[in-house]
Amino acid sequence: MKFERYGIGIAKGLMVTLKTLFRHPTVSQYPEQRLHTSRRIRGNELAWDRQKCTGCATCAKTCPQGVIEIVTSTNLVENKYAVEKYQVDTGYCIQCGLCVEACPYEALFMGYAYERAKYRRSELVENKEDMMLESGKKQPSGYFYPEIAAKLPRQTLLVEKITEKEQ
Amino acid sequence: MVIVNPNVNLGNLPTLSPDWPGGFWWHWLLFTVIIIAVVIVMIMVNVYIARRQVGRMQSRVGPNRTGPFGIFQPLADALKVLLKEGIEPASIDRLIYWLAPVVAVVPVLLIFAVIPFTDGGMLADLNIGILYVVAISSISTVGTFMAGWASNNKFSLISAMRVIAAIVSYEMPVVLSIASVLLLVGSLSMNDIVLAQQDIPFILLQPLGFVIFFIAGLAEISRSPFDLLEADSEIVAGFFTEYSGIKFVLFYLVEYGEAFFFSCLITTLFLGGWRGPALPEWLWFIVKAVLVWFVIVWLWATLPRVRIDQLMALAWKFLLPLALINLIITAIQVLALPEGSWWVMIPVNFAVTAVLILLWSKLFKLGWGRVEV
Amino acid sequence: MAIRTEPFVLNMGPVHPSTHGVYRMRATLDGEVVVDLEPVIGYLHRGVEKLAEERTYTGVIPLTDRLDYISSMSNNLAYVMAVEKLAGIKVPERAEYLRVIMAELQRICNHLIAVGSFFNDCGAYFTPFLHMYREREKIIDLFEMVSGQRLTYNYMRVGGVSQDIPEEFLPALDRFLAQMPRCIDEYDLFLKENEILLARSKGVGILTREKAINCSITGPVLRATGVKWDLRKADPYSVYDRFEFDIPTGSAGDCYDRYRVRIAEMRQSLRIIEQALKQLPSGPVRVEVPHLVRPPVGEAYAHIESPKGELAFYLVSDNSIAPYRCHIRPTSLLNLSALRDMAIGWKIADLIIIFGSIDICLGEVDR
């Protein structure tokens, strides 16, 4: 194994590193500068529309992990099911989005927020009141619903922020 | 005869420059405090520069949260590690385990006694300065070997063996390239070496010596591309795997202290020490040392690691013969050329360097590496 | 008189800075030379094949994301192709082209990580790794735009893909295709001719043609030994027979050739994506498939050329909503079977490099 090329390969590598030293770094300072996530982000929670939901439990049957728990009773006055308990364990959820795709009445949405850390695992379980869309605390994301996605801000893309010379 | 400034006082060498106030003991106390402060502060500055520079070279920012621009980051790291619990495995060799960081750290602080920060501004202007440096800097190797042995850990033992082999092999090119510089000066004292670079720095007179000293010195302080002694993608952390807390800080100080010392030594021997036009002298010294450190970190961020047998082959088959040839050529030039004719030496030396490096690279063969089992 | 030495066993345990995941090797060393090697796997076994029997056919798709978690789209594709083969479902054209685009982008993404961690094992202190992560970030932004997540995409469905691409996907992809060749050139400039890298990896860990074919090794490791075998050309699936691209091969079968093969494959993937963009038709992206798919009784085997090799799913169905048996051909585990023969005789540092150049993912090895 000969020591060929007299160190020219090493010199080329050093030039590349030196050029990178003077370029703008491709990082963002997180808490002060938040980038916009995708409009279809499958965030950390679910948002539930109580008016449209009929209690059919298709979402609970589709969930691969079994995190959705629904208890219904009959409500003969309005002639439909009354949902008594709708509980989601967001700590066990893998954010796959199959429940959102499965709902036939378009009553379930993925959440847009992703900064939802809590101190206790039991606080991650969300019951009926937390889940409701009209509580105002939830922002639905555009996963599977293009009309919601059109209203959310545009995603920040790295291909547009840093430009290198194009071919 | 000597080619450089003949006003260097070779005969009667005082141990104390006349313009330092107070007696011998005050001078000693002042410089001890200065050396310890400067070493610790410069190590922190070096760590900060290294992290920011490596960060920018990797297209990210270094630390920038602790303090403005992150300047308190090394301080925060040091405080954090000092407050950690020192976890000791149960089956270590206790006496050697405790002594190893001490044996490794003390020489690093001792060798700073002879580095000239300004003209005569050092703890002790020994007339055998370079010999003292070479001798004392080898003692910390014993400390690292003790650490590797006492940890009772196979990874540390492998690393300790590599340390011994590598550092002993690289002593020779280092000493031979220093010897070629000494031929030009004629004295072993560090202050005289800087004084002798009045007209031109020795990097122009000794390019081959500079290259050899740089590469061999990088291997001595075990920095990349030769950092296989503590390669943290193979042997976890090498000889200080089992150390935590204050002992870990001491080993960290050894590594960065030796690196700072190496940049100071290059500045003194090859770049002209504290010489410079406008700024105060100690500031020029620090600026040059930081520049050398910039180059060292640049190499660290870019190059992959060599393997241990390639490291040994590089020392014995490439650097040692070149260092010997360099010594012989310098000796011939010192004897043959008249005084002050450095303008003849420079192109001759550069031509010799280019020819030798090209020729030797063609002849240099590494072993194949695979052993029949 | 020979000095008697004694070999010792070094345990590079499950927790190690550079085994790519929880992988344990017990190496018997004589000094620094590796004399024997014994791998111990199973630290990441999650029982995926058993779990697949308890979920519906659509519910297994998020599970397959997490097999080879670095290249999720390829895993999804292989599983979904197996179900479609079983149920006899034909996928619309636009969905096929979208699948090809996603699979090739995923190939580039995977090779960026593979080459980056190879350099990291060689000792270049994360610098090429982070440069390659910059490009991977651009690809992951595109994937996030389409599917909503950055690592486990869950994008393919039985009968097509999950959703159509948004309108800002194509301009962003064009910009990426314009920037990427320049970035690959910069990687080549950085480390292709680096003497230290050449000394570390040329001629190291040689795998011969015969041994590779005997050990059923596939992927870039096989192509680096000189065998021109790629499932996209040998047994074309999806719409790969409509594109023209080359199959890069090496000649020596050492670590350096595997690295060069991966870089060349990245360029070929860019070529395929450009052709697919030109031919992209319009139309539906998903066939109407019942919510709980019930394929007829039978078995199916579908294989694809995933970035690491040949990934295949073997499904047995008994006309219920869940698979009766789902077996996964673990690419990385079969590629690892030659590690012992490649590594004997080399030193510890070479062992790490050889292991890194095979490019395994523990999620696939242990399932």
Q: Is residue A24 part of a domain?
A: no
Q: Identify the weakest region by mean pLDDT among B149-158, B288-297, B363-372, C72-81.
A: B363-372
Instruction: Write down which chains contact chain A via at least 3 CB pairs under 8 A.
Output: B, C
pLDDT digits (tens, 9 = 90+) for B117-134: 877 677 777 788 888 998
Contacts of A144 in chain C (CB under 8 A): 162-163
Q: Is residue A163 part of a domain?
A: no
* Domain assignment of residue B350, yes or no: yes
pLDDT at residue B9 greater than cutoff 60: no
Shortest Cα distance, chain A CAs vs residue B256, angstroms: 22
Lowest mean pLDDT among A116-125, B160-169, B271-280, C24-33: B271-280
- Number of domain units in chain A: 1
Residue B266 has pLDDT above 60, yes or no: yes
A20 to B56: CB separation less than 8 angstroms, yes or no: yes
How far is CA B231 from each of CA B226, C125, C345, rounded to the nearest angstrom?
Answer: 9, 10, 21
Strand partners, B232: none
Question: Which residues form the domain of A80?
Answer: 46-141
B308 and C120 in contact by Cβ < 8 A? no
Q: Binning pLDDT at 50, 70 and 90, where does residue B276 land? A: confident
Asked if residue C16 has pLDDT above 80, the reply is no
Closest-CA residue of A relative to B361 is A3
- CATH number for the domain including A114? 3.30.70.3270
pLDDT, residue B10, reads 47
Residues of chain A contacting C175 with CB distance shorter than 8 Å: 159-160
Say whether residue B368 is in contact with chain C using an 8 A CB cutoff: yes
Q: Are C127 and B303 in contact (CB under 8 A)?
A: no
Going by C-alpha positions, the residue among A141, A131, A111 that lies closest to residue A44 is A111
Decide if B50 is inside a domain.
Answer: no
Helices (H), C225-366: 231-234, 255-278, 331-336, 339-343, 348-358, 362-366
pLDDT in tens, C210-264: 999 999 999 999 999 989 999 999 888 888 988 999 999 988 888 999 999 999 9
B307 and C126 in contact by Cβ < 8 A? no
ipTM of the complex: 0.86
Q: What is the pLDDT of residue B354?
A: 85
The whole-number pLDDT of residue B237 equals: 67
* CA closest to A23 among chain B residues: B59
Whether the per-residue pLDDT at A4 is higher than 70: the answer is no
How high is the pLDDT of residue B21? 64
pLDDT of residue C17: 72
Partner residue opposite A14 with nearest CB, options B298, B364, B367: B298
Q: Are B119 and B281 in contact (CB under 8 A)?
A: yes
Contact B234 C120 (CB under 8 A): no
Give the pair of three-digit tokens for residue C9: 């066993």
Lowest-confidence pick of A153-162, B66-75, B344-353: A153-162
The verdict on residue A19 lying in a domain is no
Residues in Cβ contact with C328 at an 8 Å cutoff, skipping those fewer than 6 apart: C48, C49, C67, C311, C312, C313, C314, C364, C367
Residue in B211, B210, B226, B304 with CA at minimum distance from that of residue B258: B226
Nearest CA in chain A to C166: A146
Do the domain assignments include residue B6?
Answer: no
Q: How far apart are CA B303 and CA B202, in angstroms?
A: 27
Is the model's pLDDT at C47 over the cut of 80?
yes
Q: For C244-257, give the DSSP string.
A: -------SS-SHHH
The answer to whether the CB of B85 falls within 8 A of the CB of B248 is no
Q: Please indicate whether, in this complex, the C-beta atoms of C172 and A37 are within 8 angstroms of each other.
A: no
CB contact under 8 A, B303 and C345: no
Partners of residue A2 in chain B, C-beta under 8 Å: 361-362, 364-366
Query: Mean pLDDT throughout C85-112?
Result: 92
- Put simply, the answer to whether C347 touches B59 (Cβ < 8 Å) is no
Q: How far is CA B83 from the centre of its chain?
A: 29
Q: Does A31 touch chain B (CB under 8 A)?
A: no
**What are the structural domains, with CATH classification, of chain C?**
8-366 (1.10.645.10)
The whole-number pLDDT of residue A134 equals: 67
Distance from the B56 Cα atom to the nearest Cα atom in chain A, whole angstroms: 5
Structural domain range at position B219: 88-361
- Put simply, whether B370 touches C (Cβ < 8 Å) is yes
B54 → chain A, closest CA residue:
A21
In whole angstroms, what separates CA B1 from the centre of its chain?
30
Q: Residues A125-153: pLDDT tens digits?
A: 888 777 676 667 788 888 888 888 888 88
Chain B residues near residue A18 by CB distance under 8 angstroms = 57, 298
Q: Does A38 touch chain C (CB under 8 A)?
A: yes
